[in-house]
Amino acid sequence: MPHAEAHRIATQLTRAVRGPAWHGPSLRAALGGVSARQAALRPVSGAHSIWEIAAHAAAWIRIVRLRLEGRGPKSVPKAINFPTPRRGTAGEWQGVRAKLRDETARLARTVRSLDDGELPYLALHGIVQHTTYHAGQIVLLKKATKRSRP
């Protein structure tokens, strides 16, 4: 079966973002119940906000897809790597979450279309690990924002 590994990797990405994830909360679960206001807070000095991390995860899922398609950027400017909220509205926050959902689906489709011999394993396993890592960060920041509320 020429696409067996491609299918497994796409499934792991989808589970890391949408669930169910073996390791704990998926990225979507970690973002559950997070308001735009909470997402923009910086409860840990020097750390990124939940908003920035979610946008960063979506951006890198997109970058990996574009690179697979031969259209990805060689370098990634800070404004794309860790985008900050423009206005911080609920609608803008929903847009970040929609981008994460949509880019994950696009990358999973792209990966599933490849033969196993074409897979850039380091990048694909890396994006799954990257997503899982950031889900854990968000869980901790979410707890910190609840503690820091007046």
Helix (H, G, I), strand (E, B), or coil: what is residue 3? Answer: coil
Q: Which pLDDT does position 23 carry in this prediction?
A: 86
Backbone angles phi, psi at 132, to 5 degrees: -65, -45
Which residue segment(s) compose the domain that 102 sits in? 4-147
Coil/strand/helix, residue 131:
helix
**Cα dihedral across residues 18, 22, 141, 78: positive or negative:** negative
Q: Cα separation of 104 and 99, whole Å?
A: 8
Q: Which CATH number goes with the domain that contains 137?
A: 1.20.120
Instruction: Count helices and strands (H / E) in the chain.
Output: 7, 0
Task: Please classify residue 111 by burial: count the beta carbons closer than 10 Å to its beta carbon, then call 0-12 exposed, 13-18 middle and 19+ buried.
Answer: buried
Burial class from Cβ neighbours inside 10 Å (0-12, 13-18, 19+) for residue 91 reads exposed
Domain total in the chain: 1
pLDDT of residue 147: 73
pLDDT at residue 39 in the model:
96
pLDDT per residue rounded down to tens, the chain (150 residues): 568 999 999 999 999 999 999 889 999 999 999 999 999 999 999 999 999 999 999 999 999 999 999 998 889 998 899 998 999 999 999 999 999 999 999 999 999 999 999 899 999 999 999 999 999 999 999 999 887 655
Alpha-carbon gap, residue 40 to 64, rounded angstroms: 25
pTM of the model: 0.93
